[in-house]
Structure 1
C-alpha cells in the first residue's frame, strides 16, 4: 500500500514538472517568434500608445508648446521605458513615468523648443523599451514656429485655484506684418474656460492685443492643461494656439487617484492604503464599493482629522481576469463625495 501512495506522489510531482516545462517552452517559442519577426516584436509596444503623431500647428516664438503621448500598460508584466531620444534639437522628449504596472498610464512629453528655432520643424522621437521585451516605437511631431507673433508670457498661467472659485488672467500679444491683421475669434474646447481678445493699438504694421482668460467656478479639480485657439484673418496661417495652465485644488484629495491592487491568485488577499487629505479636519462617514471583494477598515476614521489613511483589502474570487470597480468616500464636509476606480487582475489557475 505504501508503494501505491508513493507512486501517486511521484505522478503528481511528474505532472508539476511537465506543467513547468510546458510554460518554459511556450515562453521560449514566443520569444523566438518575436525575435524572428521584428514587426511583431515592435507591435506590442506600439499598441500601448493612444496616438503616435502630433502637429503643433503654427506656434508663436517663445510660446509654450508641449504634447503628451499617452500610453497604457495593457499587459500583466511590468513595462519599463529605458530611453527616449529625438532626431532634431527642435524637440526635447522626456519620460513622465518609466515603470508602468498593469493598466497604469504614462506619457512621453514632447517639448517644442520655440525659444531656439524658427520656421517649419519636424522630429522623430524614438522610445526604447527593455521590459518585458526589447522594442522601439517612433513618434512623429511637427509644427511651424512663427516670428511675426509674440506673447508677453509663454502661456496663460492661472495659478493655483481653490475648487469652486473663479480665476482670471491676462497676457499681451503683438503682431508685426500686415496693417489689417486681426484676431476674429477665440475658441476654447473646455466649457469652463473662456477668453476674449481686445485690440489696444495699431500702427505701421504693429498690432497689439490683450488676451483676457477666465476659468469658471465649475472647473473640476486637478491639473489644467488646455489650449485656446486664436482665429485670425491671415489666410496662410489663420490659427494660433495659446496654452492655458493651472491647478484647481480640491477640498478633498484622494491618493492614489486610482487604486491598483496588483496581479493576485484566486482566493488571495491583498491590502493597500488610500490617503484622503483635506484643507481642514473632517470625518469620513462611510466607504463603500459595488463589489464585496473590496473591504475597508473604517474603525479609525470617525475622529476629525485633516488627513485619513484608509486600509483597503481585496479578496480575489475564483474567476480569472480583470476586476474593475468604483469606491465612494462620504465625508461630513458636505462636498461632492470623492469617487475613484479600483482594479485588480486575477490570474488563471
Structure 2
C-alpha cells in the first residue's frame, strides 16, 4: 500500500514538473513573440503645448506564419486615444497603433498604459506606455502645420500662432529645423499684461524632395525648466513630372542588347521630353512632336557597361524649355556575360 502511494506521488510530481516547465516555456515564447512584434513599447512625448497635435505610431510586426488580428486597444487614461491603424496584419507585414495625446483637454504631467488585445492567431495582451507634460501657459493655434499636397519646385508657406500667458519677460529665442528645406521664421505680434503672442511661419523651399514628410520643429524659449517645445510639420511633396512604370525590369540581356519599353509621362504643364539618361546605359527614344501634359514614349535601353551581373540604376527624364523639370525612375536587369 505504501509503495503504491509513493509511486503515485512520484508520478504526480513528475506531471507537475512537466506542466511547470511547459508553462515557463510558454511564457518565454510569449515574451519572445511580443519583443519581436512590438519593437517599441514606450514613448516619451516630452513637454508639449496646449492644443498641439501630438501623436506617436507604435509599429506592430507580424513575425508569425498566420495573420494577426488586433481585437482592441484600451487606454488607462483619457489623456491618450489609441487608434488601431491595421486590425489585420498579414505574415511578414507591419501594422501600427497610433497614440494621440489629447493636449486640448488635459494639462500637466500625463501618461497612459495602452493594453493591446490580440486574438489571432492566439490570444495575447501587450502593454504599451506613453508619457508627457502638457504645459498650460503655451498654446499652438492651430496645433500643427499641415501643408497637405505640395507641388515640387514651388515655394509654399504656412503659419501658426503661439499664444502665451504668464511671465512678462517670456520669449521665443529660436526655432530649429533639422531639414534644410524647412525654413521657420518667428515674429512677435503682441506683448501686454503677461500675454505674449507670436506668429510662426514655415516655408517649404523649392528643393524639397518628393514624398511624404512628417517632422518636428523645436521652439526654444527662455524657460529654464522647459525650454524646448515641439511643433509638428507634415505634407506630401508631389513631383511635377510622374513616370509609369517608375521601376522598369528589363530581365536577362547581353551587353549591347537593346530592350524596348513604353513609358507614360504626366506633367502639371504641357511638355516635351528633352533627355533620358542613366549611368551605364544608352537610352534612345522617339522625340515628342507636340507639347502635351501626357506623353507616351517608346524608349530603348542598351547596357553599355563592361561588367556582368545584376544591375540596378536610376534613370532621369528631363523636359525641354526654360521651366524644365525632372523625374527619376529605376532600371533593373540581369546582364549575362559573353
Q: TM-score, normalised by structure 1?
A: 0.64
Displacement of 1:75 in angstroms is 3.9
Matched residue, 1:338? 329
Q: Residue by residue, what CA displacement relative to the aligned partner does 1:197-218 show, whole Å, maximum 9, x if unpaired?
A: 2222322211111111111223
CA distance in 2, matches of 1:306, 1:129: 48
2:50 corresponds to 1:61: yes
Runs (4+) off by over 4 Å? 32-36, 253-257, 276-283, 304-308, 325-334
Residue aligning to 2:101: 112
Segments of structure 1 that go 5 or more residues without pairing to the other structure are 1-31, 258-275, 287-303, 309-324, 342-349
Q: Which residue of 1 aligns with 2:178?
A: 189
Deviation at 1:34, TM superposition (A): 7.4
Shift of 1:189: 2.5
Distance 2:202 2:98 in 1: 25
User: Within the alignment, does 1:202 sit opposite 2:191 as a pair?
Assistant: yes
Q: Is the 8 A contact 1:282 1:331 kept in 2?
A: no
Secondary structure of 1:146's match?
Answer: strand
Which residue matches 1:222? 211
Matches within 5 A, 1:49-198: 49-198=38-187
Q: How far apart, in 2, do the equivalents of 1:118 and 1:219 lie?
A: 36
State the SS of the aligned residue for 1:89. coil
1:43 is matched with: 32
Change (3 A) 1:277 1:89: farther
Aligned to 2:200: 211
Determine the structure 1 residue equivalent to 2:242.
Answer: 252
CA distance in 2, matches of 1:252, 1:94: 33
Instruction: Look at both structures and tell me which one has the larger radius of gyration over its CA atoms.
Output: 2
The answer to whether the 8 Å contact 2:189/2:197 transfers is yes
Paired with 1:106 and 1:164, the residues of 2 have a C-alpha distance of: 33
Report the secondary structure of 2:327's partner residue.
Answer: coil
Coordinate RMSD, CA, aligned: 3.7
Answer whether contact 1:179 1:206 (CA < 8 A) is retained. Answer: yes
Q: 1:200 to 1:140 in 2, by over 3 A?
A: same
Decide which moves more: 132-141 or 203-212.
132-141
Inter-CA distance 282–200: structure 2 relative to 1 (3 Å threshold): closer
> Which consecutive unaligned segments of at least 5 residues does structure 2 have?
1-20, 248-263, 277-291, 297-310, 320-324, 333-338
- Aligned-residue offset at 1:127: 1.6
Match of 1:264 in 2: none
